[in-house]
Amino acid sequence: MAMTSREIRQKFLEFFKSKGHTIVPSSSLVPTDDSVLLTTAGMQQFKPYYTREKNAMEDFGSLNTASVQKCARTSDIEEVGDETHLTFFEMLGNFSFGGYFKKEAITYAYEFITKEMGLKIDFVSVFARDDDMERN
């Protein structure tokens, strides 16, 4: 049975709310961040929390959030108009500002995709740092 985009968004937000995430509304397509012209990614509204300019616990009451962020695509703007290149979309995202890391993020994603959405995943890959890799 097919689901509407509204049903997918709702399922996503309800799932992460049940996991202790605070649901945060979409921010404007025109961000307050002077380093960008348009909101192009779901995490963009959370930049001040990743840079520690703001405190997630104070603002959201949680280190974990989820959102459906409206975004404008600009990286391939010259291709816009065909069946695969659009300028507007929404990103569903779950974010943590120190509450959990890769292991939990992968577990949540796997559970949402397989149990909530009923889709099959054949494998998951994770980048692991090589001990010989230069640290930045």
Condensed to tens digits (0 to 9), the pLDDT of residues 70-87 reads 998 777 667 766 766 667
Give the CATH number of the domain where residue 47 resides: 3.30.930.10
Q: Which two tokens stand for residue 7?
A: 């049903």
Full domain range(s) for residue 9: 5-116
Question: For the whole model, what pTM was predicted?
Answer: 0.81
- Cβ partners under 8 Å of residue 75, min gap 6: 40
- Whether 134 is covered by a domain: the verdict is no
Q: How far apart are the first and last CA of the chain?
A: 47
- Whether 12 is covered by a domain: the verdict is yes
Main-chain phi, psi angles of 92, to 5 degrees: -90, 125
Question: Averaged in consecutive runs of 10 residues, what is the pLDDT profile of the chain (136 residues)?
Answer: 91 98 95 86 92 96 97 74 74 96 92 95 77 57
Sheet holding 64-72: strands in order across? 22-24, 64-72, 88-96
